[in-house]
Amino acid sequence: MKYVSTRGSAPALDFAGVTLAGLASDGGLYVPEEWPQFSLDEIAAMRGLPYAELAARVMQPFVGDCLSPDRLGELTAKAYGRFAHAAVTPLTQLDERQWLLELFHGPTLAFKDVALQLLGLLFEEFLERDDGSLTIVGATSGDTGSAAIDAVAGLDRVEIFMLHPKGRVSDVQRRQMTTVRAPNVHNIAIDGSFDDAQAMVKRIFTDRDVTAKHRIGAVNSINWARLMAQVVYYFAASLQLGGPDRKQAFSVPTGNFGDVFAGHVAARMGLPVERLIVATNVNDILHRALSAGDYSTGSVTPTAAPSMDIQVSSNFERLLYDVGGRDGMAMAEQMRAFEASRAMQLTNAQREGAAALFTSMRADENDMARAMRWASEACAEIVDPHTAIGLHAARAADLPADVPVVTLVTAHPAKFPDAVERATGSRPALPGRVGDLFAREEAYTELPGTYEAVRDHILANAS
């Protein structure tokens, strides 16, 4: 399997190459040259497999010759063996058509663990092979940071610098990052928003002062291996609900467009999917883009769902490339214009291509709170603010009545206890597996929100 950049000029790489590279050298994102296909019979034959085996089956075509099927199976068994639920991503029923897909049973209580637990193992595997090392630089709106740090803490060949926007992540999220005391973990709080932090990270990848000395890796969902691992749970959920003989719709609380793009990949591989619902909060650039073709940035409004407080959604470029004719040169041109003016119009091909599978919905704080209350009062389920936005969209979506709607539960409610308590009156308790989070000492460096400050800190502290 070869991977090509959405901007057409970076060299094609194999799976090991894209796993270690993160962002492509032309500023684009890597995508498979073509989508692997499963027939309906092949999908039906996956029914009843344990999650780790299903994962190896779904991912093998993307991995190609880089890992043998046996080795891939060992890695998925190890990654998903750390989950607190034997089904790894269990479904919960809410009513006759609404379902929840629980993705928070990993070590840091958000769906990011599903991909990052595996990514940590893949880094180790590929770095050992060529005796290399990797400096990961990442930006987090909360959950990627803790999941990535948990996945790589203590690894010999990997060092991680994680930027978070100061004061804009929840206490649980921050502590899950800053209380991990391993010599290869460096936490940085910057003055600024998540988008500011993400823009700095992107710049590091193309800064020769840094890249001449360090091999820079990515744990954000610009890393293809993350999206690949997320494709698996769309198959898992569908197979439980009658797939591939029956279609489902999925409602996905969306920020950087990674999780929902994985649903697009599942559909491209042959999984029958009725619809993908992109649920946004009031930071609704994706809703405007999908409903009106208008991809223009505003300023970020902080909400109770901070992992969705995003204006620029990196992975949207992958969709625009894939449905817009897979023309790297045109994509590079379109993105250059966007980066200069912070606004662009989707082409007709992009709009029509996206409309075939995607719809979108925006939820404000009231919609979110109402969805949380409905889940609590009508179904005895406590959901977190991000999931509540997905659930609002799932219930409001215009779909055939016999189609099950699966909302992706992106975080455990105890990560956001204040917002949950405000809406439902009950304060969710942290599961025992996170331990004495509030007793442990924190360590992080505060930096001003300038690129130079961040770059100099990384150069001074990377080993």
Residues that bind ligand PLP (CB under 6 A): 110, 112, 143, 221, 253-259, 307-308, 386, 410-411
DSSP 7: T
Closest CA to 116 of 125, 126, 106: 106
Helix ranges (DSSP H) in 64-136: 69-81, 112-129
Min separation Cβ 308 and ligand PLP, Å: 5
- Nearer residue to ligand PLP within complex by CB, 67 or 319: 319
Instruction: Give the rounded distance of the alpha carbon of 443 from its chain centre.
Output: 25
Min separation Cβ 315 and ligand PLP, Å: 7
Min separation Cβ 390 and ligand PLP, Å: 8
Min separation Cβ 199 and ligand PLP, Å: 16
User: Is the Cβ–Cβ distance between 237 and 127 less than 8 Å?
Assistant: no
One-character DSSP codes across 436-461: STTTSPP--EEE-S-HHHHHHHHHHH
- Nearer residue to ligand PLP within complex by CB, 145 or 324: 145
Instruction: Identify any residues that bridge with 138 across adjacent strands, giving them in sequence order.
Output: 162
The residue assigned the tokens 């193309």 is 206
Min separation Cβ 348 and ligand PLP, Å: 25
User: Is the Cβ–Cβ distance between 258 and 315 less than 8 Å?
Assistant: yes
- Nearer residue to ligand PLP within complex by CB, 49 or 199: 199
Pairing label, strands 248-253, 273-280? parallel
Min separation Cβ 141 and ligand PLP, Å: 7
One-letter amino acid of 176? Q
Residue 288 is encoded by which pair of tokens? 């405007």
Q: How crowded is residue 461: how many other Cβ atoms within 10 Å of its Cβ? A: 12
Residue 381 is encoded by which pair of tokens? 């389920």
112 catalytic residue (yes or no): yes
Helix ranges (DSSP H) in 130-240: 143-152, 171-178, 194-205, 208-211, 224-240
- Residues 371, 365: Cα–Cα separation, whole Å: 10
- Nearer residue to ligand PLP within complex by CB, 110 or 118: 110
- Nearer residue to ligand PLP within complex by CB, 410 or 458: 410
How many alpha carbons fall within 13 Å on the CB side of residue 326? 9
Residue 225 is encoded by which pair of tokens? 């291996």
- Nearer residue to ligand PLP within complex by CB, 124 or 322: 322
- Nearer residue to ligand PLP within complex by CB, 152 or 279: 279
Min separation Cβ 178 and ligand PLP, Å: 17
User: Is the Cβ–Cβ distance between 446 and 139 less than 8 Å?
Assistant: no
Catalytic residue among 78, 112, 166, 247: 112
Active site residues: 112
